[in-house]
Amino acid sequence: MTKILLSGNEAIALGAWEAGVQYASAYPGTPSTEILENFARYPGIRAEWASNEKVALDNVIGASFGGARVLATMKHVGVNVAADSLMSLSYTGVRGGLVLVSADDPGAFSSQNEQDNRQYARFGKFPCIEPADSEEARRFVGIALEVSEGFETPVILRSTTRLSHSKSAVEARVPEKREFQPLPPFNREGGANRVIIPAVARRRHPEIEQRLRDVAAWAETTAFEIGLNSIFWGDGQLGIVTTGIAYQYAREIFPNASILKLGMSYPLPLQAIRDFAAQVKTLIVVEELDPFIEEQLKVAGIAVAHGKDCFPLCGELTLEKVRQGALKAGLLDVEAPEELPEETGMQLDVPSRPPALCPGCPHRAFFYNMARQKRKAIIAGDIGCYSMGVLEPFKAMDMLISMGASIGMAHGFKQAGGQEGVVATIGDSTFFHSGLSPLAAAVYNKAQITVAILDNRITAMTGQQHHPGTGITLQGAQGHDIDIAPVVKAMGVTFVEEVNAWDVKAVGTALKAALAHEDGPAVIIVRGACVFTPHFHLQPRMRVDPDKCVACHACLRVGCPAILKSEVLYEKNNRAKTMIDPLLCTGCTVCMQVCPTQAIERESE
């Protein structure tokens, strides 16, 4: 049997295709993004980028009601955006199987929090399925769809960064015939549950409580028969209840233990767990983030010897953290696999590699200007590469909380009575995600704020996905592209200026004019394509003329990785002159524009 390596995300896409998913919708977000990018390449399906996660979920809800098997994918915090529909979807139920992939981010590698989205399953009263490797990711998507259809419930398939971005072996069978029996055509009769007015909600609530009990009964029996839940018997000393990627750490650290591995982490098969507990001397729970399983076991009166008292509540689990937990619990006696030597070589001071805006980045001139304005203006940021405006050398961001929050926060800050100007910075993709409605409120309430829409023509930070502003669809077709300036004007903004992102002076002038504007919000649209897009034009690179450089370091204030300190000192101030790394420079000229002595020039000149 040939095996191939697939990432968890690639495997979810393959499994979805094999299980007959006909339509999928998503908004990009690390670590979920590659699922839909991969799914979109399979034949005979439709896959789309929605403008945000709620739209993605609403799209697949409609398709499910229409009879299609569907998939929505998003990062953990994206589920918050979709939660309004999700909570009531539990009440309406589904028709075609509906799986929502929540890609959580323990360790917050690229997120604003570490929320554990298994809690949504309990909160919303629907099942949660957690694969532990790529083969399971592929197989469990199909099971999740069957559970969804069988119990007429939405199902969360929960991944984590470690699962989504790790590759493990899956069986390389040629994608077989898609296993999907089309549902009967849409029938308006019998659709009373789909209009969730209060009378329906009151009737449905006891029904979904019963549905949850039915799924729990299924988890006790069928889930074990089909290998969704599994027991691996070891010795009777130690029994471990675990789920998802935590299982992989547990089985390595405790090779002799008996393990009850939950492929479905909600609802729990409490009787099976109780029986398992009776067969082992000590029962522990190894799970990442919240004590989600542990607390339910304790409430059910099952004795859990160790859980979050030993294994960390915060951060991603790792082999060493599980080993440390096992030592703390007295379940292991060896200190570490091997003794560490006294000298570990770390006497060396290793300089960090902080993230930075790329050479040529269209956000650079804006943040250079923002940094110069920051005594006079408060800056509300948003989610995107431009979050890096908070870093050295700009340090030009005062608040940042969630997608689309910048505009509402900016207006609110001004309402608190501050005399400073307030600038909201928001990207193009984020503006379409959740910037339109706060801008409507800002116009309506005559907010005295400046909104800088940093339009780099792509969803950049997640790896260049298209969005309504670019008009190219996920499957590569030409859709319709929405021009931001006319939209903003139509909403009633009386100050709208578009400016070239690499023109330092023009960006500064626009910013000052916007801050002086008094008739409602002022909008400047800073336009320039991300360096990773085909629209970015590489130009002849720049060089520093050492004879003209006076080591004032003005160019270092643009925060470009291509600008280095050279070994040549300027004799009058004894500081290092600068130089430009020819391999990194894109010729964007921002450094040239800020050099007071015209020491920076194009190499070809």
Residues at the contact surface with other proteins, assessed by CB under 8 A? 3-5, 30-31, 107, 109-110, 133, 161-162, 165-169, 245, 248-249, 251-252, 318-320, 323, 336-341, 343-359, 361, 385, 388, 392-393, 460-464, 532, 556, 559, 561, 563-565, 584
Closer CB to other proteins, 267 or 469, in the complex: 469
Placement of tokens 């539990």 in the chain = 90
Task: Mention every residue, 6+ apart, whose C-beta is less than 8 A from residue 542.
Answer: 580, 585, 587, 589, 591, 592, 600, 601, 602, 603
Name residue, tokens 């909160």: 123
For residue 564, the cross-strand partners are 579
Quick one: 251 or 527, whose CB is closer to other proteins? Answer: 251
Tokens for 498? 């578009």
Q: Which residue, 75 or 374, has its beta carbon nearer to other proteins?
A: 75
Distance CA 482, CA 198 (A): 37
Which residues is 542 bridged to in the sheet? 602
Closest approach of Cβ 163 to other proteins, in Å? 8
Q: Six-digit token pair at 304?
A: 């859990």
Closest approach, Cβ 3 to other proteins, in A, equals: 6
Question: Residue 8 or 154: which CB sits closer to other proteins?
Answer: 8
Inter-residue contact 7 to 166 (CB < 8 Å)? yes
| Residue placing its CB nearer to other proteins in the complex, 124 or 360 | 360
Q: Which residues contact 504 (CB under 8 A, 6 or more apart)?
A: 365, 368, 369, 590, 593, 594
Q: H or E segment at 284?
A: strand 282-286
460 near 530, Cβ under 8 Å? yes
Q: How far is the CB of 486 from other proteins (least distance, A)?
A: 29
Shortest Cβ distance from residue 272 to other proteins (Å)?
A: 23
- 569 forms bridges with which residues in the sheet? 576
Whether 247 contacts 131, CB under 8 Å: no
Choose among 213, 210, 219, 306: nearest CA to 268: 219
DSSP code at position 479:
-
**Minimum separation from the CB atom of position 341 to other proteins (A):** 5
Element (H, E) at 98: strand 98-104
**Nearest approach, Cβ of 584 to other proteins (angstroms)?**
8
What is the distance between the alpha carbons of residues 398 and 511, in angstroms, rounded to a whole number?
A: 17
Task: Determine contact, residues 168/43, Cβ cutoff 8 Å.
Answer: no
Q: What is the smallest separation between the CB atom of 576 and other proteins, expressed in angstroms? A: 10
Looking at the Cβ atoms of 333 and 339, the one nearer to other proteins is: 339
Q: In residues, how long is the chain?
A: 605
Of 149 and 316, the one with the shorter C-beta distance to other proteins is 316
Q: At its nearest, how many Å lie between other proteins and the CB of residue 523?
A: 26
Tell me whether residue 201 or residue 332 sits nearer to other proteins (CB atom).
332
The secondary structure of residue 399, as a DSSP letter, is B
Helices 198-220 and 134-151, axial angle in degrees (round to 10): 130
Nearer Cβ to other proteins, position 313 or 319? 319
Q: How far is the CB of 162 from other proteins (least distance, A)?
A: 6
Nearest-approach distance from CB 336 to other proteins, in angstroms: 7
Cβ closer to other proteins: 106 or 142?
Answer: 106
